[in-house]
Amino acid sequence: MSTAHWSTQDTPIGPFTAVVAPDGAVLASGWTADVDALLPQVSPALRPSGLRERRDLGAVSTAVRRYHAGELDAADLVPVRQRSGEFLQHAWDVLRTVPAGKPVTYSDFAALAGRPSAVRAAASACARNAAALFVPCHRVLRIGGALGGFRWGVDVKRWLLDHETGVGA
């Protein structure tokens, strides 16, 4: 792959970094200032051969600002590019349909993805998601409402869920 661009911006819950392909698709993103922490999550087939920092990533940076300011669907139409097996790719597409403020359980997510008995595979899709926020894996909870894990920390996941339901607003 060619050179990708990256940018870090401040958010209410800490720095957020995104890595974007030349065509504007998000390859990786998350609440970190360390771009190198994102690269291992990118499929080797999509991993850029080089990185250049940019102050602004256009639609991606705008979506991040708008989301954190309360426009909860701001990231919905930003293109994302991830590669893996058929189920994981489908599961990531399904995650993008889970609306803000309406989290689902891992069991619900597996059923939405068409494989109700594949709860562990659904959890794996969340764990292997490289494009946090744009593929909102934070909207998947354990049965009973427990948060479960999140690459960027449970405190970040709690903030995101509270932000999307208006708690603390």
Catalytic residue among 137, 140, 141, 161: 137
- Per DSSP, which regions of 39-97 are E strands? 50-53
Paired tokens of 38: 């994102």
**Distance, CA of 164 to CA of 168 (rounded, Å):** 10
Helix, strand, coil percentages, rounded to 5, for the chain: 35, 20, 45
How far apart are alpha carbons 107 and 89 in whole angstroms? 18
Across the strands, what pairs with 16?
9
Nearest to 12 by CA among 66, 57, 62, 58: 66
* 137 part of the active site: yes
Report how far residue 67's alpha carbon sits from residue 100's, in angstroms, rounded to the nearest whole number: 10
Q: Kindly list the catalytic residues.
A: 137
